[in-house]
Structure 1
Amino acid sequence: MATITRRLSQPVGKKGTRKDPGGYRSAQEWFAKSRRLHLLQDRLARQRADRQAGRVRVVRGGKQLARARHNLAQAQLAEPERPQRWEAGRWFLAADGESGKRFGNETIRITPDGQVSIKMPAPLAQHANAPHGRYVLAARVRFAHRGTEWADRIEANRAVAYRIHLDTARGRWYITASWQRPAFPAIPMAAALAHGVIGVDTNADHLAAWRLDAHGNPIGNPRRFAYDLSGSADHRDAQVRHALTQLLHWARTCGVNAIAIEDLDFRAEKTREKHGRRKRFRKLISDMPTSKLRARLTSMADQTGIAIIAADAAYTSKWGAQHWQKPLTTTKRTTTRHDAAAVAIGRRAQGHPIRRRTAPPPAPPERWTGASDRSGRTGRPRA
């Protein structure tokens, strides 16, 4: 709304700058944007009124299930299955953990041997089948993934959150355990960069990485970790997690203790008001999962002891291609702009300039030796 208001106040056809967009191109576009501004103001007024009244218009899984209801053939659902999924989206029980309580959770308690008991509320206390108003489930549970870490936490009475939900496709109930990992202390920059760094360039479909030594020189060949961001949210999240896992494994294999990545944030840069009709560019930056990659990489790197360095992304692609793409291209290796940008990001994180060291100037005439120079002249050093 602030951007549209500012552009409406400028004359039609006025050119903008790199940081501030100008006016709209035509009177027709100006009129359409003025109508859009009124619509946005009305939406904002309704949201503020709902917030003041304490009204929440959110339904868990409502949008996805509503689309499946109107497209049963594409969703491969029959009419009896749709209500089951709709109800199962609300059939869940969740409880946060509490440190110091027995097995880390007072509401949903799971013993080391897999026994699940639920603390019944006061209106349902008559349904308890165990002492102290608890209901013990007949089934036993086990955690195949990180089960040892979960067992260590509950043995120490540390907080563990649980969520019980129904999977209608399989017809089974599942319980999910989650906990918060302690924050690792930040290591000094000199210690993190002692064995070099891996520069990473973020793109819409892959991560371009290159290893640099302690002096900022590229080592070996570049690596590319691809991911596919099409499909469901779970599929996209799995693709990002798989690419980051490969990156971290490669870093551990190389013995590098730091990964340098661009500090990108396109939340305020991918709007139509910022880039106008550049649809391809807006789609490009919208497809790049910058915030998800940064959050995932930070959380996953904490467990491997690898430091993450956020480098300034200004001109890394441009200067990397200008100074590093051609020198790093050989007859057996083709260096792309993204690979050269990874080198630029790594050098910037190390504190080195992106520009390569230039060749020294030719020796002055008073430094000539007996050898001939390019013009064929010979000389001797003067006294």
Structure 2
Amino acid sequence: MGGVRELAGSFVVPGPCGVAVRDRLKHLTPRDEMVLRAVGEHQGALASRDLKARCADGLEHGADSWVLRKRDLTPLSSSRIAGAITKATHDQWALARRCQAAHIQKLAAGIRTLRQRLSLPVGEPGTKRAAGGYRSKGEWFRKSRRLSMLEDRHATAVAEWQAGRVRVVRGGRRLLNTRHHLAQAGLTEDQWRERWEAERWFIAADGESGKRFGNETIRVAPDGEVSIRLPAPLAHLANAGHGRYILTSTVAFAHRGAEWADRIEANRAVAYRIHLDTGRGRWYLTASWQRPVVKTVPLGTVRARGMIGVDTNADHFAAYRLDRHGNPVGHPHRFPYDLSGTASHRDAQIRHALTRLINWAVRVGVAAIGIEDLDFTAEKTREKHGRKKRFRQLISGIPTGKLKARLVSMAAEQGLAIVAVDPAYTSRWGAQHWQKPLVTSHRTMSRHDAAGIAIGRRALGYPVRRRTAPPPHDRSDRAGHRTVQAGPGARGREGTRPPATDRLPGGPSPNGTRKREPSASNTVRDAPSTQQWVQDSLMRTG
């Protein structure tokens, strides 16, 4: 155990700080669509120009340059629209800056791995913790050339980082590259052009507390009426007073509609965004607002009613329920999903699997779900895993960031807390200590199910092992009791564990059939037995 790294402590994940709901803008007239397209194109051009100016400023940007940029945009739009554009520009530049830092770290990790392997003799065997030398001189030569390439890329990226130079594509770099592969994407040039222009439009407005219905630029009334404050050059298109255009379509948010109505009735800030789905030819309006920061529930409180440990895999969630002492209850549960296909299909699969998981957690009455704090950022490089291309694709396909965000948001609506644990050794130790003992004629256990138990025990604050070493045999009171047992105040700590059939003694069997009563023993006991009962390895332990 000397090589085991130190494990990080478990913690309760903070709840969501924002809410977003969406509804379709139905029955728009041709004039409505013409106005929306004109507003999107005009404000999108302003956003592109502002982003170019912000990237040119680099690290020299400050409050003065921000004021100048907003002052230049105001005559071409309005003060509020100019503020929304400059804020979106800053967010996009900051995101590009963070991606640049992550890219530098990835290159540095690859360089370290290549240097370490190139320093070893050809054919040197590796270990579980470090890769060995390359298998042939030809591979060694090719990897040395790749090292030179990575070092050159790293030097260029570091120079750009120090100079404050970022590379941003409004509309998305992936969609831009799709222009060169239209046949593979199944798009014509006109279809790609329409999607490209729609992605670069800007029809959004931040909320303003104290203003009518929480937003002065894009206003949604309680009856669902949507009106837009047109920019100054497009004021001639207005069909209402004060340069506003009222759409013929109305919205009604089916999800969180009451919460949204309460906010606009109190004139609290609500941000809106209008966008066009070119694939379906539909317009949508998205409303979002911030929630007040809620104090995180103490870790001891969420552990009081047990825990559900969840092991995240490439095609399913493996979940197991544990009581507050860390004992597995019932049978394992698996929630499958399919991460192939389009991004919308993958997102729907994750959402449906999480919905089933959370509904089960609510039914069994636990207060929290334990999950691994996964982050595969530095674990999917070709330098680390070499020829294991399928494995790299496997871990790259697990949406760790989106999964955590969606799970926290969905669980908060059901009053469940999320406890993040260190993912180290959960699969290995779970299979070692829990997989074989829990296999019965009515229960099958996989390595992933056992990992769910390990995750749940770690979230509860217990070690993964079922029992610790017993006290010395010469003096049982010298070293005390086992350290993984339940405390003296725990009710039922001396009771036996439930039978393998998960039913009470004397109760009906799971399939409803009655079993034959056991026959009387022929052994005659003249005196009480003096045998000392030894607690079973799967009894209630803490």
| SS of the residue 1:284 aligns to | helix
CA RMSD of aligned residues (A): 3.2
Return the alpha-carbon distance in structure 2 between the equivalents of residues 283 and 73 of structure 1. Answer: 20
Residue in 2 that maps onto 1:300: 410
Residue in 2 that maps onto 1:117: 227
Return the alpha-carbon distance in structure 1 between the equivalents of residues 362 and 226 of structure 2. Answer: 39
Return the alpha-carbon distance in structure 1 between the equivalents of residues 436 and 339 of structure 2. Answer: 31
Pairing partner for 1:2 from 94, 108, 129? 108
Pairing partner for 2:421 from 290, 311, 315? 311
Deviation (angstroms), 1:294? 1.7
Query: Superposition pairs for residues 344-359 of structure 1, below 5 Å?
Result: 344-357=454-467
Return the alpha-carbon distance in structure 1 between the equivalents of residues 286 and 530 of structure 2. Answer: 79
Residue in 2 that maps onto 1:159: 269
Pairing partner for 2:120 from 11, 34, 37? 11
Deviation (angstroms), 1:338? 0.9
Specify which structure has the bigger relative contact order, considering alpha-carbon pairs within 8 angstroms and separated by 6 or more residues.
2
Residue in 2 that maps onto 1:203: 313
Gaps of 5+ in 1: 374-383
* CA deviation string 1:208-247 (max 9, x = no partner): 0111111111111111111111111121111111111111
Q: 304-313 or 20-29: which moved more?
A: 20-29
Deviation (angstroms), 1:186? 1.2
| SS of the residue 1:347 aligns to | helix
Deviation (angstroms), 1:303? 2.1
Pairing partner for 1:98 from 195, 208, 232? 208
Normalization by structure 2: what TM-score? 0.61
* CA deviation string 1:53-84 (max 9, x = no partner): 86744141563475377444863x56654443
Residue in 2 that maps onto 1:272: 382
Q: 137-146 or 355-364: which moved more?
A: 355-364
Residue in 2 that maps onto 1:378: none
CA change 1:140–1:86 in 2 (3 A) is: same
Q: 333-342 or 353-362: which moved more?
A: 353-362
Letter in 1 for 2:199: G
CA change 1:27–1:194 in 2 (3 A) is: same
Gaps of 5+ in 2: 1-106, 475-526, 532-542
Normalization by structure 1: what TM-score? 0.83
Return the alpha-carbon distance in structure 1 between the equivalents of residues 290 and 204 of structure 2. Answer: 16
Query: Superposition pairs for residues 187-198 of structure 1, below 5 Å?
Result: 187-198=297-308
Indicate if the aligned counterparts of 2:111 and 2:150 stay in contact, CA closer than 8 A.
Answer: no
Residue in 2 that maps onto 1:63: 174
Residue in 1 that maps onto 2:86: none
CA change 1:85–1:293 in 2 (3 A) is: closer
Deviation (angstroms), 1:146? 2.6
CA change 1:344–1:158 in 2 (3 A) is: same
Return the alpha-carbon distance in structure 1 between the equivalents of residues 254 and 529 of structure 2. Answer: 75
Return the alpha-carbon distance in structure 1 between the equivalents of residues 253 and 191 of structure 2. Answer: 29
Residue in 1 that maps onto 2:84: none
Indicate if the aligned counterparts of 1:91 and 1:166 stay in contact, CA closer than 8 A.
Answer: no
Query: Superposition pairs for residues 1-383 of structure 1, below 5 Å?
Result: 1-6=107-112, 7-8=114-115, 10-13=119-122, 14=124, 21-43=131-153, 49=160, 52=163, 56-61=167-172, 63-64=174-175, 67=178, 70-72=181-183, 75=186, 77=187, 81-357=191-467
CA change 1:42–1:108 in 2 (3 A) is: farther
